[in-house]
Chains A and B, each alone.
Chain A
Amino acid sequence: MQGNDHSVVRAVLAGDKEAYGTLVRAHSAAVFRVAFRIAGNEADAEEIVQETFLRAYQRLEKFEQRSTFGTWVYRIAVNCALNRVGQPGIEAEYTHGEESDLEMKTVQVATQDADPERVLLGREVSAAQETAMRRLTATEKCAFVLRHLEDRSMSEIAEVLGVAPNAAKQAVFRAVQKLRRELAPLRGNA
């Protein structure tokens, strides 16, 4: 696949625009997955996918043949997602909704006992986690998603974020601390 991707990249650079469709079809799902995990919603994830492949096409001449196209486009996707999540408007939107969600979560969890309602409890836990995730900074969220959900190494995360490995590690640790604190009220009840 890697060698095939490289030959497709060469074809695209030689003027065959249609060949790029092969790369888009092959890597769209992976890009969408990481975009959704960082952005947290489908609409943003869709836009991140489009932006990622557009940026990748525009920078295709800089693609180094020693790395795989999948890894390269994955990094672009993380950066696009990071930029999108880090936008002031989106951060403000997250902050705006978090207080009411937290209060609602506390009240509702305290009243769950019956089994049919445990399904609802599970949904509430997910909502609380989602809210807690939104309280993270863009870098913390991105670092946590890459380490905890995407199982990337600290050095990879550092490279993608453009920071030192220790800084990436600290970002992951801060994210874990915050999430544990946010979700602590639910642990005894869930």
Chain B
Amino acid sequence: MKHLSEDEQMEMYYDEGSEAAKAHLKACRQCAAEYAKFKRSVDAIKAEEIPQRGPDYGDFVWQALRPQLIPYEKKTAGWQGLSWWKTATAAAACLALMTAAFIGGRFWEHRTSTGSDLAANVQPQQRVVVVVLTDHLDRTERLLVQLNHADSGDKVENAQLQTEARELLASNRLYRVSANKEGDPALAGALDRLERVLAEVANDPHLTAADLERVRKDMNTSGILFEVRVLLARKPNQESGPMSAKGVSI
């Protein structure tokens, strides 16, 4: 077998030799002699004598070092500084807060949607009222126009106008009362003046040409026809504007 190299001798010396090297060393006199020589040479490399330090050497080092040291700042307790039960309590509090926020959110959403539903129910009702009122004002305008151009000698036509005026008078009274209740003075005032004209036309048993002429003059003087036209123009716009809450309810 091949004899031990210097590296293998070093491995043997530092107890890192292989089993094969150990076996060879036992069997080979030449290698044993070489290794003994190697060992003596390495053993001769001894540690230098360490200069003695007194028992107060540690104090000496510390006193020299001490002025150079800056004290550590006391750490504020972070997540790692918390005990497990504090962490658990904080987690439970967070969970409770999130649950409350979730339930509160759901409840708030429910209430908001209920309010929206009510508002949504009111809007169609107002839309119906406006349509009905618009229809009433349309009929009234047509009556006033007919009065304006009526032939005072035509008794049939006068009778038709009176019948129409009576029907409109009844409904106009309801609208006026409702307008007063809803706090719409402009509409209530216009309906009030309109009501007086309608009442005069409807209740006069013998509507003569002179009567019609007087009603025509009253209408033009007080501007009832103009007012009715303005109201007719205003009502559809109120449906989507801020005044939509106003109007009459039947």
A residues neighboring B (CB under 8 Å): 12-17, 20-21, 24-26, 28-29, 32-33, 36-37, 40, 42, 49-50, 53-54, 57, 60-61, 125-126, 129-130, 147-149, 154, 169, 172-173, 176-177, 179-180, 183-184, 187, 190
Q: How many residues of B contact A (CB 8 A)?
A: 33
Top 6 closest pairs, chain A to chain B, by CB: A25-B58, A17-B71, A28-B58, A24-B62, A15-B74, A21-B62
A60 CB contacts on chain B under 8 angstroms: 72
Nearest CB of B to A105, in Å:
15
Q: Among the interface residues A24, A125, A126, A169, which one has the most CB atoms of the partner chain B within 10 A?
A: A24
Q: Among the interface residues B6, B10, B65, which one has the most CB atoms of the partner chain A within 10 A?
A: B65
A17 CB contacts on chain B under 8 angstroms: 66, 69-72
Contact code string B1-41 (vs A, CB < 8 Å = 1, else 0): 00000110010001010000000000000000000001011
Secondary structure at the A interface, as helix, strand, loop or mixed, is helix
Other than A20-B62, A172-B10, A180-B42, give 16 A-B pairs with Cβ distance below 8 A. A13-B72, A13-B75, A17-B70, A17-B72, A20-B69, A24-B58, A24-B61, A24-B62, A28-B61, A33-B50, A53-B61, A53-B65, A54-B65, A54-B69, A187-B41, A187-B44
Nearest CB of B to A31, in Å:
8
Q: Which B residue's beta carbon lies closest to that of A182? A: B45
B48 touches A40 (CB 8 A): yes
| Complex CA–CA separation, A154 to B11 (angstroms) | 11
B68 CB contacts on chain A under 8 angstroms: 54
A190 CB contacts on chain B under 8 angstroms: 44
